[in-house]
Structure 1
Amino acid sequence: MTRMLRAAVVLACLGALLQSQAFSQGKKKNKKDEDFTQTLAVAPDPPSAVAADTAKLSFLIAPLSAKGLLSQQTRDALKWLMQNSKGSQFVRIRAYVAGTGDLRRIPSLVSEMFTEKKIALPVVTVVQVGGLPLEAAQLQLVATVQDRKTVNPGGVLFLAAQQPSLQQSMEQLRSRAGNSEVQMLACAAPTLEEVTAARTAATTLFPRAQLVFYQAQRSVSQPVAACEGVARLAQPPDGGARFQEGAVAVSSPRLIFSGAQLAFRYQEADARLAFQRLEKTLQSLGGSLKRTVSLNAYPLSPQLADLVARVRLEFLDRDHLPSGTSLPYEGLPSMDASFGLEAITLGSPTP
């Protein structure tokens, strides 16, 4: 009986020891799982510049949505762009954001979703606007993509027009386009009330264009409307590029696109620093501000727009000025930013 009791005690002790070891191993395993979760790679930031083939440039505009808040609308718009890109490479995504959502969230979501799908990241520009022509819509995404095949055998024409009214801006841009077929048109209106009539007129003036309309600022002291567009050239310009006021024709094979370079503070020296940083970014891929074909500025006041206009001439080729617009916007991703710059330049044939 005593032997049997001793054997039972020994067996009980062994069982307890085995349970303790199993529990300990389970904790170690869970700890490893926790450590693995904590060290997952963070999605990279979007690049500062991307090169693209001029002959393959195309555009996608995600439809406006009133569903959810900014993050959900961004995810839905990015899903739509990826589903409709048909394998094209994304070059640039520009986000017009209305409302009070965090603008810094847009580049983060682009990085997360593109990295998850193993898609090359585009440059990203984010600006806050005064309003979009759909109630509760907080976001409008415009994507420049590089198609798999040649769609612009004659090259492209970068267009811009800035007038007191939206109708005047569109008519001026139509005149500058000549017989070129406008593919994309983005217009900033002084008020959203102008947009309905302008959209109707735009479908007549630009029957093949994808259209974007928004209000740049909620309240303005002097009404200003601006439109920018990209058209398909029928014939390539001599020498690979032709510069005219508000219209730059390009057939050079390689273009460099930048994201928005932000400026901080309000002095000329601060503005020069922003242009110098943008120049360094463009040079990293063989571009230069001296060969800019399109330059958009996103200042937060008319005074800052004047500052950009003065300083930019120190960095551009005065005999070959780019197209582009510069009018006040509601906000930028950094609360300390004073204006943003976004450029497209001619690139060297090889990096």
Structure 2
Amino acid sequence: MIPIAKPQLDEAEVQAVSDVLRSGMIAQGQRVTDFEQAFAEYTGVDYAIAVNSGTAALHAGLLAHDIGPGDEVVTSPFSFVATANSILFTGAKPVFSDIDYDTFNLNPEMVAEKITDRTKAIMPVHLYGHPADMKAYEEIANDNGLALIEDACQAHGATFNGKKAGSFGTGAFSFYPTKNMTTSEGGMITTNDDEVAKKAKMVRDHGSRQRYLHEMLGYNLRMTDICAAIGLVQLEKLESYTSKRQHNAQLLTNGLQNIEGVICPTVRQGYGHVFHQYTIRIQNRDELASFLKEKGIGTGIHYPIPIHMQPYYQELGYTDKLPVAEELSEEVLSLPVHPQVLGEEINFIIDSLKEWSGTR
């Protein structure tokens, strides 16, 4: 089976974890500090705050901007549910706007129409590793006095006009095992805002800046040194991982772009796509997924149900009609693109899609 995702870990990560275990400092110690500094430098920001998941990064990032009950945050319906859930965690309301056909990201023109006097922030998602249009979102945020929260959980190292995702506003990253780099579980908040950084650190540590002195309601969202040690090793490998993903993506596009019915991913000029997923659009998606499974090729559907149509959100009263997100949810299929996919496996994937197309 060619898996849709496969964490890439070797003896360097094993040794890093072993060193932490032998040190006796396994939680919120020097490795976490070192990882924060390294990730901030890599992303091009002043501050990085390590937490225990990407969801925690989104949640704490929102709270650091004082977003809470009565506020609205405009975001994408076409993402993992954590994007919107993190807004609910604060007591605020997610407001969904429709997406672009080509990038699967929020459509800026439609976002502008969703802003009300209750809107406190915009949360674009850099879906699949293709950055959102950050120039447009910076303008919308500045014109309306809104916080800009980047869901960069799938976009480690992605760039917009040469500037990395997570450096335009307050970024939130995930280090779940299937992401472009991993810490096993973990997340990171990035920002250039001193006050946001201070609040985010308090949120992750029971509302405290000083031991046993609690200034606000906080949580236990801390990262362990074990995770941070893995992250430090993975961060050193990230650029090579990204190059391999981009190489594999180009091979897939070269081989698939002329197959009838297959719509390959778009990469807009000036956007550095890091291909967390290589996601095609195709009719009869479920039939193709079953065919590829029989061939030993893993696939993924990201995402089969838009967030506003999820049962819980229906219970909350969401009745939005977002036709692009709803249409694409029935067409998207992700193919293996991760660094461990071999050239001959890419060719096998391409040949298998050609075979399927020829039987239609």
Tell me which protein shows more strand as a share of its residues.
1
Which structure has the highest helix share of the two? 2
| Fold conserved between structures, TM > 0.5 | no
Q: Which has the larger radius of gyration?
A: 1
What TM-score bracket applies, with the shorter chain setting the length?
under 0.3
TM-score normalised according to structure 1 size: 0.24
Q: Which has the higher contact order (CA 8 A, sep 6+)?
A: 2
TM-score, normalising length: structure 2: 0.24
